[in-house]
Amino acid sequence: MKKVTLITIMLMGTLTSTHYSFAQKFVEVGKVNMISNRNIDPNAKYKLLRSYSADSKKEVKHLKFTTIEQAIDHVVKKVPGGEYLMNVKIYLLHDDYFMVEGDVWGQDVEITQKGFKTGDVVTWKKSGKFVKGKITALRDDKTCLVEDEDGKIVEMKYEQVIKAE
């Protein structure tokens, strides 16, 4: 019984200290309803493109955004067609770097990313042979989902695919 109690106390202490260290690293600066670095057209129709979008802790530590504007731009540009953020939380990491998270909104138009759009027929090289497929979704600024000739959905980098006729 004493061993179980001692283990429980040690585990609770570890969890508490982990939560405390996380709270010390990421400090919430504030919450805003809407934030943008671009001019928003009041007559345009906007729609929710991605809910709860943010950079991972690893990305924040690597990218090191020193201004809120940089952090906003990065999160919005990760989502194809993104224009602004709503329901935003702003964090400060180690008193030096900013991170934002929120819902990405954009115009209700055909979205393109790096010259590609949903429905484009593309080709890529796999095991020395060329394979054809159709883009089914634009995931972010680096990858898209492609349905190959066998009906299998694969994630591809834009640099790996070429438009086909």
Q: Is there a single domain that holds both residue 92 and residue 116?
A: no
* Predicted confidence band of residue 32 (pLDDT cuts 50, 70, 90): very high
Q: Are residues 30 and 68 in the same domain?
A: yes
First-to-last CA distance in the chain?
Answer: 72
* Residue 21 within a domain: no
One-letter amino acid at 129 equals K
The verdict on 127 and 79 lying in the same domain is no
Which of 107, 122, 144 corresponds to the end of one domain? 107
Q: What is the pLDDT of residues 38-70, one digit of tens each?
A: 888 888 889 998 888 887 767 767 778 889 999
Q: Which residues have CB under 8 Å from 43's CB, separation 6+?
A: none
Asked if the structure places residue 4 within a domain, the reply is no
In a domain, 9, yes or no: no
Tokens of 159: 């640099």
Q: What pLDDT, on the 0 to 100 scale, is given for residue 109?
A: 67
Q: Which domain holds residue 158?
A: 112-163
CA 161: distance to chain centroid? 21
Q: Report yes or no on whether pTM surpasses 0.75.
A: no
Task: Using the Cα atoms of residue 123, residue 136, residue 37 and residue 64 in order, give the sign of their dihedral.
Answer: negative
Tens digits of residue pLDDT in 74-99: 888 888 888 999 999 998 888 888 88
The answer to whether position 1 is within a domain reads no
Are residues 119 and 103 part of one domain?
no
DSSP structure string for 86-133: EEEEEEEETTTEEEEEEEEEEESS--EETTEETT-EEEEEETTEEEEE
Do residue 39 and residue 93 come from a single domain? Answer: yes
| Total domain count, the chain | 2
- 88 and 154 in a single domain? The answer is no
Per-residue pLDDT at 156: 92
Q: What pLDDT score does 41 carry?
A: 86
Q: Which of 146, 140, 76, 132 is nearest to 114 (CA)?
A: 140
The residue that leads in pLDDT, 15 or 155, is 155
> Is residue 18 over pLDDT 60?
no
Look at residue 62 and tell me if it is in a domain. yes
Q: How far is CA 115 from the centre of its chain?
A: 20
Kindly state whether residues 118 and 74 are assigned to the same domain: no
- 30 and 103 belong to one structural domain: yes
Q: Does one domain contain both 154 and 133?
A: yes
The pair of three-digit structure tokens given for residue 10, joined into one six-digit string: 């040690």
- Is the torsion defined by CA of 97, 87, 34, 51 positive or negative? positive
Contact 135, 116 (CB under 8 A): yes
Question: What are the pLDDT digits (tens) for 106-160?
Answer: 887 667 777 888 889 999 998 889 999 999 988 888 889 999 988 999 999 999 9
